[in-house]
């Protein structure tokens, strides 16, 4: 069992432009300077700042299902069956301050409920619960200069579930070129996680075993937790080439340190004995990407994306994605998409009963295996000027379906619904 942080909501929002991640890593989450009730004063130019208003509401709900037979909980064999229901609500508040600069406050709340069949095998007694929940609120404040179009903002994130707690924050900044056709952006992020140390039942110290497992895999919670920190610097440059072509160059620098393995992931050695996964305490990642959107006539938009990824554990991957948006009418569009992904194996990966007892680090988690995958599907979007179903407040409705298939026999399906309110 692995965490599905390629989250279903992540799929919905990514596909829109562009699990409990047992779904793999192609695999490889403030205080206001101006309150609602404050009364703005007019400046010397008699400009009257606009009070905060709710500008837009977005609601996304998704259902994800997965199956496979390479569970990391049982050492690279066994069921990978997972289901996940995700719901997310985003509220965007907008106001204009005394300098005529636009302020945007985005507040989000997400809730996931998942079942993972492999989770029941953390304890060989069968006492573990195969389901769980995750809740993740977020907030982001951005201010846009009315003259230059440059922006500055800060964000905060929180994620909480039974064995994983994460606190994060970011600072982001963007600068437009003089003609406003180009934009350079930087985003600095930090995530500070704590992982509860859940061990397979056969490795739990006898002093920690209880007669009442309480659905927690035959261990007491006092086995402690361990930190995991992630730092990211994301850089981007976008450029409008002409009225039909827009391009963007993207690059991230990611560093991780702390407890990067999961003790409830088993590894079986070539001599038949088993142990728990052990991985290095640091990892460096470097993804670089290129995006191009081309307007092919009045009714067709081509959205393409390529990314190359490399990390210090030996994984190298390539991702290519193409989405074709066809406008059947000014208010209705169909968007088929296709993504191909391939990666090399991490140097620490070994299949079931193939790891050597002399290795310093080892894992049988197929997230780190060599594989290739395909992800394809279609989206339908309606945005009539009179509102969806005649409801003026509901300005947009989008439904997307995607099918994922990996050459390791892992398959999954996801369907999402996005509702946009003004």
Owning domain of residue 107: 8-421
CATH number, domain with residue 36: 2.40.160.40
pLDDT in tens, the chain (422 residues): 333 333 333 444 333 333 333 334 354 323 222 222 333 333 434 445 688 999 999 999 999 999 999 999 999 999 999 999 999 999 999 999 998 999 999 999 999 999 999 888 887 765 566 788 999 999 999 999 999 999 999 999 999 998 899 999 999 999 999 999 999 999 999 999 999 888 888 887 654 444 333 333 344 434 678 999 999 999 999 999 999 999 999 999 999 999 999 999 999 999 989 999 999 999 999 999 999 999 998 899 999 999 999 999 999 999 999 999 999 999 999 999 999 999 999 999 999 999 999 999 999 999 999 999 999 999 999 999 998 988 888 999 999 999 999 999 999 999 999 999 98
341 is a domain residue:
yes
Q: Kindly report, residue by residue over 54-89, the tens digit of the pLDDT.
A: 999 999 999 999 999 999 999 999 999 999 999 999
Q: Mapping DSSP to helix (H, G, I), strand (E, B) and coil, where does residue 71 land? A: coil
Q: How far is CA 297 from CA 163, 292, 329, in A?
A: 51, 16, 13
Judge residue 251's burial from the number of C-beta atoms within 10 Å of its C-beta, 0-12 exposed, 13-18 middle, 19 or more buried: middle
On whether the CB atoms of residues 410 and 67 are closer than 8 A, the answer is: yes
pLDDT of residue 271: 92
**What is the SS3 assignment for 377-416?**
EEEEEECCCCCECCECCEEEEEEEEEEEEECCCCEEEEEE
Burial state string for 178-189 with b = 16 or more CB within 10 A and e = fewer than 16 = eeeeebbbebeb
178 is a domain residue:
yes
79 is a domain residue:
yes
pLDDT of residue 208: 47
What would the two tokens of residue 195 be?
Answer: 């992982």
- Between CA 62 and CA 71, with CA 67 as vertex, the angle to 5 degrees is 115
- This prediction's pTM: 0.84
3 is a domain residue:
no
106 is a domain residue:
yes
Domain total in the chain: 1
Judge residue 110's burial from the number of C-beta atoms within 10 Å of its C-beta, 0-12 exposed, 13-18 middle, 19 or more buried: buried
193 is a domain residue:
yes
């Amino acid at each position: 069992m692995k965490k599905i942080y390629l989250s279903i909501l992540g799929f919905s929002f990514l596909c829109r432009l562009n699990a409990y991640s047992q779904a793999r890593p192609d695999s490889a989450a403030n205080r206001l300077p101006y309150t609602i009730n404050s009364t703005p004063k007019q400046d010397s130019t008699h400009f009257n700042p606009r009070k905060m208003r709710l500008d837009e509401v977005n609601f996304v709900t998704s259902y994800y299902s997965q199956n496979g037979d390479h569970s990391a909980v049982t050492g690279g064999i066994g069921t990978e069956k997972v289901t996940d229901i995700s719901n997310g609500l985003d509220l965007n508040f907008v106001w204009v301050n005394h300098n005529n600069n636009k302020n945007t406050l985005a507040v989000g709340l997400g809730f996931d409920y998942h079942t993972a069949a492999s989770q029941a095998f953390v304890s060989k007694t069968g006492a573990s619960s195969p389901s769980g929940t995750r809740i993740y609120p977020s907030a982001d404040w951005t201010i846009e200069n009315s003259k230059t179009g440059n922006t500055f903002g800060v964000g905060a994130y929180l994620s909480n579930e039974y064995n994983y707690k994460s606190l994060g924050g970011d600072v982001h900044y963007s600068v437009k070129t003089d003609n406003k056709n180009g934009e350079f952006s930087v985003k600095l992020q930090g995530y500070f996680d704590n992982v509860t140390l859940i061990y397979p039942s056969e490795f739990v110290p006898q002093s920690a075993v209880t007669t009442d497992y309480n659905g927690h895999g035959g261990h007491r919670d006092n086995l402690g937790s361990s930190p995991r920190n992630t730092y990211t610097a994301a850089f981007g440059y976008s450029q409008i080439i002409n009225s039909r072509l827009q391009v963007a160059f993207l690059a991230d620098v990611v560093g991780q340190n702390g407890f990067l393995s999961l003790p409830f992931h088993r590894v079986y050695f070539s001599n038949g004995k088993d142990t728990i996964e052990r991985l290095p305490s640091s990892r460096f990642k470097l993804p670089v990407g290129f995006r191009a959107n081309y307007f092919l006539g009045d009714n067709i938009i081509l959205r393409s994306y390529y990314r190359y990824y490399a990390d210090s554990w030996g994984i190298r991957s390539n991702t290519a994605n193409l989405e074709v948006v066809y406008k059947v009418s000014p208010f209705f569009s169909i968007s088929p998409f296709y993504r191909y992904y391939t990666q090399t194996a991490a140097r620490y990966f070994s299949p079931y009963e193939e790891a050597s007892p002399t290795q310093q680090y080892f894992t049988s988690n197929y997230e780190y295996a060599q594989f290739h995958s395909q992800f394809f599907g279609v989206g339908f979007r309606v945005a009539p000027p009179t509102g969806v179903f005649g409801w003026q407040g509901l300005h947009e409705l989008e439904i997307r379906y995607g099918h994922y298939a990996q050459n390791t026999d892992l398959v999954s399906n996801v369907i999402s619904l996005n509702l946009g309110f003004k």
